[in-house]
Structure 1
């Protein structure tokens, strides 16, 4: 019942944010003129943009497939692609992408993959996924002040906030992984403080869940220490995966017949939007992503093509991803765990 209420809340919240985004973007705009401009787009340039979205989803599936193999678990690449799609779909429709991993763990369990194993794999996926954004944010902040003043000046505080939140998230996760005793002490004392302030009721079950979580973090630490090369490879794949999605905006730029700006500049600008919105409590960064695009890409697309450019860029980078992952999630619902009995072949963590 609680899960159904939570899902209902997420759907209502998504609809409200989507409606607010549509109103904010198109209110007062000439829809006929926008439609006319979109009809002039060279659709051939959008095909590689669509492929970038598929590569983005596929990239995580390769990481899952690769890491499962290092743990002695053999699953088909197609099955891992479905795991990845499920994660992206639920991440797209839930605030702060909070629903992706629980859904993936659920479907992995249907494939007889132990929860500690799936949790370990997905935790490393999350760390490397966020780490790419941290690297981008930190490098731009410390070495790209000229770039910030030229392209991000009006939204620099949003960018700094996004960078800070991603750094905090990654540092917190690394502390949990490599210093689980310290992390447990902090969390236990924090819960005790909340209990004394009567903001939380004392429950032994909560402490038991915390201890179980710490066991998972310890297992992650052991894995990382013993598989450094795996972690480096995963980071490399993640870097390629994330920049594949950012590249879709460059193909949109070319679809309008524009030139004069380098692919690297457009890809980097798109990456700063992801850094800015990734940790914000909005499904897919909806609303804020559109606003940032209209500010950051104004000198790139120009006044006349800015809104149509945003429509196509977000259409590829978020809504196409949502649609493709939704279809594959339906496929996963009817195929995952429904075939012949899966053989367990789990190695030691």
Structure 2
């Protein structure tokens, strides 16, 4: 019953946010002119954008496949691609991308992969994913002062807030991984305070779940210590993933036959949006991502700003959503249905 209520809540939340986003973006705009501009875009330039979105999803599947092999688990790459698609689809439609990893673990379990192993692998995927975003954000903040003042004057507080939240998240997860006992003591004390304040009920099962999660962090720490080369390669693949998705906007820019702004400028402007919205509790950063785009890409797209946002966001988020949705359906129909998916 609780699961059904959660699904209903997430669906309603997604529809409401989507509706408000559409209203906020297009209210008072000439929709006919926007559609004419979009139709005039050179579709040849958009094809690489679609390919980069597919590459973004594929990149995580290679990470999962690679790390599974380090555990001695040999899977077909196409099965790992389905795991990746499931993760991205449910991340796209749930607040704070909270639904992605639980669903990936569910499908991995159907492939006879133990929950502890799946959890550790996905924990490392999350840590490296956040770490790369933080590294890009810090790089922009430290080395791109002129870039920040030229393009981000109006949204500087949002950028720094997003960067600070991501740094906090990565730091907190690192502490959990490398100092699980310290983290356990901190969390247990926090839990007791919440129980004393009657914010949460006192439950033995809650403490048991906490202990189990600490075991996961210990296993993650052990994996990181024992596989530094694997982690290095995972970070490189993750960096390529992120860059690929950011680059989609540049192909949209060229589809409108625009020039004058360099590839890396467009890429890092898109990176700024990701840094700013990544930690916000909105499905895919919906609403705020569109708003930020319309603020910082004015000097880039000029009069084609709104059509540029529609195509960029359409490929980068909705394209990812539809591609991952298609393969999530395939995952539902195929994963766990055969016992010979694994190969030696």
TM-score (norm 2): 0.98
What does 1:18-29 align with in structure 2 at a 5 Å threshold? Answer: 18-29=18-29
What are the superposed Cα offsets for residues 177-205 of structure 1, whole Å, 9 maximum, x if unpaired? Answer: 00000000000000011111111111111
Distance 1:160 1:343 in 2: 45
Paired position in structure 1 for 2:276 = 276
Paired position in structure 2 for 1:321 = 320
Alpha-carbon distance, 1:136 to partner: 1.3
Query: Is contact 1:110–1:336 with CA below 8 Å preserved after alignment?
Result: yes
Distance 1:296 1:252 in 2: 16
Distance 2:256 2:143 in 1: 32
Quote the RMSD (CA, aligned, Å): 1.1
Distance 1:65 1:268 in 2: 29
Residues 342/41 of structure 1: CA separation in 2 closer, same or farther (3 Å cut)? closer
Alpha-carbon distance, 1:140 to partner: 1.6
Residues 298/44 of structure 1: CA separation in 2 closer, same or farther (3 Å cut)? same
What are the superposed Cα offsets for residues 153-178 of structure 1, whole Å, 9 maximum, x if unpaired? Answer: 10011100110111011111110100
Paired position in structure 1 for 2:147 = 147
What does 1:219-298 align with in structure 2 at a 5 Å threshold? Answer: 219-298=219-298
Distance 2:52 2:248 in 1: 6
What does 1:196-211 align with in structure 2 at a 5 Å threshold? Answer: 196-211=196-211
* Pair 1:337 & 2:340 matched: no
Query: Is contact 2:75–2:343 with CA below 8 Å preserved after alignment?
Result: no
Alpha-carbon distance, 1:126 to partner: 0.2
Paired position in structure 1 for 2:54 = 54
Alpha-carbon distance, 1:341 to partner: 5.0
Query: Is contact 1:112–1:342 with CA below 8 Å preserved after alignment?
Result: no
Unaligned stretches of 5+ residues in structure 2: none
Alpha-carbon distance, 1:343 to partner: 6.0
Unaligned stretches of 5+ residues in structure 1: none
Distance 2:340 2:207 in 1: 36
Distance 2:251 2:5 in 1: 40
Query: Is contact 1:113–1:344 with CA below 8 Å preserved after alignment?
Result: no
| Larger mean Cα displacement after TM superposition, 133-142 or 314-323 | 133-142
Paired position in structure 1 for 2:71 = 71
Query: Is contact 2:75–2:342 with CA below 8 Å preserved after alignment?
Result: no
Paired position in structure 2 for 1:125 = 125
Poorly superposed stretches of 4+, deviation over 4 Å: 341-345
What are the superposed Cα offsets for residues 314-335 of structure 1, whole Å, 9 maximum, x if unpaired? Answer: 0000001000100100000000
Distance 1:7 1:344 in 2: 35
